[in-house]
Every structure is written in structure tokens, then in C-alpha cells.
Amino acid sequence: MSSSPITDYSLIRERLSPDQVRVFDRILNQIGGSSSDPVRLFVSGTAGTGKSFLITALIDAVGAKNVFVCAPTGVAAKQVKGKTIHALFNLPVAKNGEQDDGRLFTAPAVGDNLKLVIVDEISMCSAEMFDRVESAMRAFRPNCGVFGGFSLVLFGDLLQIPPVNARWIFECKWGGVVLLILIFPLNVGVFSAQWWPCFEYEELEVNHRQHTDMEFAEMLQRWRLGRVSGGDMDFLQSRQVSGTPSYAAVAEQYCQNGRGNSMILVQYNKTADELNSRCGLMNGDTVLVQKVHTDQDQNVERLTVTPVDTAEVVTIYRRQPQESGRQQQQQQKPYLPVLPAYAVTYHKAQGQTLDTVFLELPRSMDASLFFTGASRVRSRDDLYVTRLPAGFSIKINGAAVGEYNRLRATIQLPPIDD
């Protein structure tokens, strides 16, 4: 990824599919054109349509030093080599739902060269958080209007994972009642989500991740809409690796069947912690451990690791814990700043492409979670379920489908659920 812009866009365009080129050209033409209007665009598409790849192409074209890139979670931000929304805009971290601790943000330094701000995985960004993003960007340039007059492009899929315990980015709140933004006139500015209608819409339609297994791609689109056919249930039954919910059985099957960049996806951190303790510390969330270095007493001193997405070799050393008060006065044993990550929550997997995935399935779950987890892999042979509960079902979020269809209608695409 280049820090300086690449002037010959043809080299970048050669790497893109036709629909990616369409969006790429639209954004760059507006940024570099004579129009003074900033870009306000939401780029959507199902999992595997190359949204992250397009983000990388835009950064290469505009230059990394001229682009801010962020996402709601740390793992999602890593996928596009950006920062979390909280870190980029210095926002206080919420403690209860979306209620922060009352502290004001402080806008980070912005140079004159900032041309584009990109927010990835926008489905996980709540209306309240998006309000804070607008306030932070306006603080960069107070007299330049909405979002400080900067170009802003959002990427994501409203049918993937929603905000945690918060309102969708497209929903507003009036008198304690959550409603869709379009119910009220756009000039009413006393409720959240007022910025969502500022954005035009584009959609990527070509699936690159599952292009070698179109039957699986069609299966995923049914699951995306909350539909599980009899044939789908037979398939899931055939991919079951354990007839019991035993952690030990799941960990054993993972060690036998997992390959490459593999993960077990679960709903809760507590379950992930239990499974990780069963699998042992070898494979991390972002690195593969190549060698464990010990002292003469066989105590681990350091690890030699390789990030899963590069060939770089990195050495991780023990660190001294940073404690305060009474704990600071006690002797603290240096620790290795790593956690096992054989198992993670569905939220931490959004945006990733995995070689194999193992899904923990409750009897009933949101279609967004199930679809997000299943669509991480390239083919049916890469998907496993830890066990298939009797009567398994998934449910779709009607508000998300309704907003998705409204957006599709603005560019003359049919409803997704036709």
C-alpha cells in the first residue's frame, strides 16, 4: 500500500472487476474533478464482493497519507489497515450500550492533504456513533458544513452484523420510539441518524470469494435472507463435527479438520475463552507461532511469529504489566502480549476470509450472524458446524431488509427478497 498517490490509475483498474471499476471511477472523478461537492457515498454488496479490495485500490490511488480509514472494531480495522472509529476520532469508549462517559472527544490533527475518509463495516456502526463521527469531522473544519466538508465513503452490508445494543445507522429516535429515518422531514435535526440521507448508493454485485462454488454462493444468499431449505438442513447435518456440545469434542475436531487460517466462531466471549483454553496457545488471531523460545528452565521468553496475511517474521517479547496503585508496588511477572484465538465471536470475524470455519449454532439465531460466519469461507468443503441443534432456524431483521430494498430502488435494482 503506497503512502503517495499513484497517478496511473490504469494499473489499478486492471485489478478490478467492472462493477468495482464503476465505483472506483465515480469516487476518484468526484474527488479530483472540478466540482466542489464532497463525495457522500455508501458502497454495499454481499460478503465476498471485494469491498475491502476496492478500499485498498482507493488508498493506493489517493495515497495512504491522504486517506483516513477506520472501522467499528479492531479486527475489522486491521483488515483494511486502518484504525477503529474510536481511535481515529478520539471518541470515549461506551460503557453501557451506546452511552459514553460524558467526556468530549478531541479531534486528531488533520493535514491539508486529507482527501478522503473511509468507514468500513458500517452495519456495525450505530446512529449515535455516526453522530459523533460527524461532530468530530466538523470539528476538523468548523466552517465547512456537514462532516467538515470532507469526502466520506461508507462500505458495508446492512444484512450482516448490526450494532451491539444500539440503533441502526439508518434509524432515528423520537420521544423514546425508534423509527425509520424517512418518516420525518430531513430538516428536523433533534434526533439521531439525520446524516444517513446525505449519502448516495452504489452496490457491488459480483461475488469473488465463492465464485468457484456457485451452489454454495446461492445457499449463502438464502441464509442472508433468513431462508433455510430442506436441502440446506441436510447439508448442515453433513457438516456436523460433533454430536455433543462438549468443548473437548469441538476442540479435538478443530485440531483434526482445521487448516490454514481457521477459526471457530461462537456467540459469546466466554465460550471462545473456554475453547481457546482447550486448543492451547499456538495459533493467534492475526499470527501463526513459528517458534517458542525458552530459557534454561523452560520458561517461555519470546515467540517468533508470522502474520497470516504476510510473510514477515516478527519476534514478540514479554512485557511488564502496567498497573497502578497497590498492584504497582507488587512484583509483577512479565507476560506475552498475545491471546489464543482458535475461537472468536462472530463479530470479530466480519470482513475476514478464512480457509476453514467452524460455526457454533444455537437453536435459533439472527440470520446476520449465521450468514456472516458461513460466508467467511470460499466453498462448502471449508464450512463445518460444531453441532446442528434440532429445529435450527434463523431470523432476518425486517428493518434492515426494508432499508436495503429502499437503497436498491434508488439505483433501479429489484428488492433483494423478490
> What is the C-alpha to C-alpha distance for residues 278 and 275, in angstroms, rounded to an integer?
5
Coil, strand or helix: which one is 141?
A: coil
Identify the CATH number of the domain defined by range 9-208.
3.40.50.300
Contacts of 27 (CB under 8 A, 6+ apart): 39, 41, 58, 116, 151, 153
Please give the pLDDT value at position 109.
55
Q: How far apart are CA 139 and CA 133, in angstroms?
A: 10
* Residue-wise burial string across 364-386, b where 16 or more C-beta atoms lie within 10 A, e elsewhere: ebbbbbbbbbbbbbbebebbbbb
Q: Is 331 exposed, middle or buried (0-12, 13-18, 19+ CB in 10 A)?
A: exposed
Q: What is the CATH number of domain 214-317+335-396?
A: 3.40.50.300
3-state DSSP helix/strand/coil % of the chain, to nearest 5: 35, 20, 45
CA atoms within 13 A on the CB side of 155: 30
Express each pLDDT in 208-229 by its tens digit. 999 899 999 999 999 999 999 9
Q: Within the chain, which residue ranges are assigned CATH 3.40.50.300? A: 9-208, 214-317+335-396
How is residue 299 written as a grid cell? Answer: 520458561
H or E element at residue 152? strand 152-155
pLDDT tens figures, 281-318:
333 345 667 788 877 777 777 778 776 556 677 777 76
The sign of the torsion formed by the CA atoms of 201, 223, 71, 167 equals: positive
Grid cell for residue 398:
425486517
Average pLDDT over every residue of 33-55: 90
Tens-place pLDDT, residues 148-193? 999 999 999 999 999 988 889 998 754 444 444 444 433 333 334 6
Backbone angles phi, psi at 366, to 5 degrees: -65, 140
